[in-house]
């Protein structure tokens, strides 16, 4: 299930099972989240690479600006699952009451074709992102 969640998880999960898998099986949000954590993050990179291969090698109507691909880059701070391992690996922020694991990430986007070209590795928070690393 790779799409934007519009409703709550239970509604989305039930809809997925009913409409896509054609079954009346129900799955709890907790079971879904637990199973989702077992997915190798590299699977999403490979999926994105496959989409890009189709878009850039097989599409006849690729949109260009003056003969060039028009791209934009943006970054964000991600709040990660709060585990000791992730806090150590990526750093954390918070206050005297609560600390949360955080990381920085960025994304290169093809503006005209509405395709994510690439994402960049998570960086330790609050380390700044150096444009020369891209």
pLDDT score of 113 more than 60: yes
Domain that holds residue 79: 63-127
| Residue range 7-40, pLDDT digits in tens | 677 788 888 888 888 888 877 878 888 888 888 8
Give pTM, 2 decimals: 0.61
Per-residue burial over 32-52, b = 16 or more CB atoms within 10 Å of its CB, e = otherwise: beeeeeeeeeeeeeeeeeeeb
pLDDT of residue 82: 80
Rounded distance, CA 107 to CA 21, Å?
Answer: 32
Distance CA 53, CA 38 (A): 26
**Sole residue written with tokens 């850039």:** 56
Q: Rounded mean pLDDT of 38-48?
A: 87
Total number of domains constituting the chain: 1
**Is residue 8 included in any domain, yes or no?**
no
Domain-located, residue 14: no
53: nearest Cα among 45, 64, 65, 42 = 45
Residue 72 lies in a domain: yes
Residue 91 lies in a domain: yes
Q: What is the pLDDT of residues 56-101, one digit of tens each?
A: 999 889 999 999 999 999 988 888 888 888 888 888 887 778 878 8
The model's confidence at residue 45, banded by pLDDT at 50, 70 and 90, is confident
Q: What was the pLDDT predicted at 117?
A: 92
Rounded Cα distance between 39 and 25, Å, is: 21
- Within-domain flag for 81: yes
Alpha helices in the chain (DSSP H): 9-19, 29-36, 42-58, 84-90
């Amino acid at each position: 299930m790779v799409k934007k969640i519009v409703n709550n998880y239970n509604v989305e999960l039930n809809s997925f099972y009913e409409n896509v898998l054609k079954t009346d099986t129900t799955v709890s949000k907790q079971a879904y989240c637990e199973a989702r954590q077992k997915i190798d993050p590299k699977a999403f990179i490979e999926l994105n690479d496959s989409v890009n291969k189709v878009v850039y090698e097989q599409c006849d109507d690729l949109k260009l600006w003056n003969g060039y691909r028009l791209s934009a880059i943006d970054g964000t701070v991600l709040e990660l699952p709060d585990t000791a391992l992730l806090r150590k690996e990526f750093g954390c922020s918070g206050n005297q009451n609560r600390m949360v694991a955080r990381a920085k990430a960025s994304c290169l986007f093809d503006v005209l074709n509405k395709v994510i070209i690439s994402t960049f590795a998570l960086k330790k928070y609050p380390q700044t992102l150096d444009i020369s690393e891209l």
